Amino acid sequence: MELHFQMNGLSRTIVGAQEITMYPNSQSIFFVNNNNFECEHELHKNNDNPLSFFDIKLKKSAIARMIPEKLWQELHFPQDLSCNKIAYTDSIKPVTPEMRYIIENIFNNPFKGITEEVFIEAKIVELFLLQVANLKTPQSPGFRTEDLEKLIATKEYIDQNYHKKIRIIDLAKLVGTNQQMLKTGFKHLFGTTIFGYYNDLRMEKAKHLLLDEAKLVAEVADEMGYKNPHHFTVAFKKKFGVLPRELRGN
């Protein structure tokens, strides 16, 4: 089983009669139960950003250890792992801010030896559960190439400017489209509203600064663009259910 997270670049994989196109910030789950697996893979010629992706490949023995059969049954997962064929979930969905944060944790974990192995396995299971939950949301429709590029540009702008105040009217002017197309298209492509993505990204970044960089609450509030630390505290508790100082213990 492969947990695939495509961060940047467009790519296409052809497996038999199936054609799988992965957009920037997209993810899916793939299965290969055939030793003679062959496919054709290519990068789209109009990539604006270098291709980057994160893959987790699990053998059946690892799956059996990390994801018990009872969990598969409880999740009502659509794919039968025992079948001897090449398959994927037939669903390409967005990489959420929560998924990105877990991937960062895997790369930047402070542990060594068996502790590191246990930590990484726990994070892999967490990623898998988030992917399964994400699969149950409606599938995104197709987009014209020019509209897709505008939506991707919008997301990339938010990724780089999450610490600034953002307005939809300004985003629409920036990428050259109207507000309605931008709001509707963003929701379909990335599985959340513009402000939902913007707020989740800010809170995940804030959580990283608090836990991984040990910054003070006031410092984090300032970096996230909050003039009033109290407003940051309220937003943080709404997202995670705890106050920033409770998370850090200060």
CA-to-CA distance for 120 and 106, rounded, in angstroms? 6
189-236 pLDDT, tens digit each: 777 899 999 998 899 889 888 887 888 899 999 999 888 889 999 999
pLDDT of 179 higher than 90: yes
Hey, what CATH class is 2-135 in? mainly beta
pLDDT band, residue 88 (cuts 50/70/90): low
Average pLDDT over residues 88-111: 82
The residues facing 11 across adjacent strands are: 22, 43
Domain spans of the chain, in order of start: 2-135, 145-248
Q: What is the rounded average pLDDT of the residues 43-60?
A: 77
Mean local confidence (pLDDT), 11-30: 79
Q: pTM (2 decimals)?
A: 0.62
For the domain bounded by 145-248, which CATH number is listed?
1.10.10.60
Query: What is the per-residue pLDDT for 84?
Result: 47
* Average pLDDT along the chain: 82
CA distances from 91 to 177, 212, 213 (A): 27, 33, 35
Q: What confidence score (pLDDT) does residue 173 get?
A: 94
* Average of per-residue pLDDT across 60-70: 84
Kindly tell me if the per-residue pLDDT of 141 is higher than 60.
Answer: no
Confidence of residue 110 (pLDDT cuts 50, 70, 90): confident
Q: What is the mean pLDDT of residues 18-41?
A: 74
Percent of the chain with pLDDT over 90: 26
